[in-house]
Amino acid sequence: DAKTTQPNSMESNEEEPVHLPCNHSTISGTDYIHWYRQLPSQGPEYVIHGLTSNVNNRMASLAIAEDRKSSTLILHRATLRDAAVYYCIHMESSNTGKLIFGQGTTLQVKP
Amino acid sequence: DAGVIQSPRHEVTEMGQEVTLRCKPISGHNSLFWYRQTMMRGLELLIYFNNNVPIDDSGMPEDRFSAKMPNASFSTLKIQPSEPRDSAVYFCASRRNRGLAKNIQYFGAGTRLSVL
């Protein structure tokens, strides 16, 4: 089971911020939250991951709720190239490295 | 680095034929994963290797599927005999299983397989 819940689709306007939500209510204290995205006709690519604290990198920010049962991926200024399927993945702390993908959120960016 | 390299990019074959998909992981990576993507089932993990050894093949659909990793720089996924329901995009991914980047998987561009 994917163990995460995401909206099927979202829309955004170009150059505006986008907040992509994810629920992971069964997460345990040592499990990581990962985000990958898949652009059309490409393989998935890593976006960001975190455990407890909010995380920032050059692609995005990850805001993790205090109870860790939900998180939000933030794209600060969406571009047309950010149109993709975004996957929120809950990786168990045993860290076999396995990624269990759900259906993800399809993000459309309008010019 | 060239990234994860998969070949062929596209494969069209007839039912009953043997199909071999190839993957070259990123140099220095010691875990390798094979995934399959279809519209109906999304992205599914088929099998993964650590240090060339198969660790978990519970996702392999049936005995017609087999995967090997004879060395750290090459892996194959074979389907024999192929069936139309095997039509999908097959992705290979690799990662370094230690250090700061150990949680990050890098995916190839995929092989689109069509079985007629």
Give dist(CA A43, CA A45) in Å, integer: 6
**Chain A residues whose beta carbon lies within 8 Å of the beta carbon of residue B97:** 97
Amino acid at B74: F
Mean pLDDT of B55-84: 95
In A, minimum Cα distance to B46 occurs at A98
**Cis ω before B8 (30° cut-off from 0):** yes
| Chain B nearest C-alpha distance from A98 (Å) | 8
Report the distance separating Cα B54 and Cα B33, nearest Å: 10
| pLDDT at A1 exceeding the cut of 80 | no
Using an 8 Å CB-CB cutoff, list chain B residues near A45.
106-107
Percent of chain A surpassing pLDDT 70 = 95
Q: Is A14 within 8 Å of A110 (Cβ atoms)?
A: yes
Alpha helices by DSSP H, listed for chain A, are none
Rounded CA separation A26/A38 (Å): 25
Chain B residue whose CA is closest to A41:
B109
User: Worst-scoring range by mean pLDDT, A71-80, A88-97, B53-62?
Assistant: A88-97
Angle at B97 between CA B92 and CA A27, to 5 degrees: 90
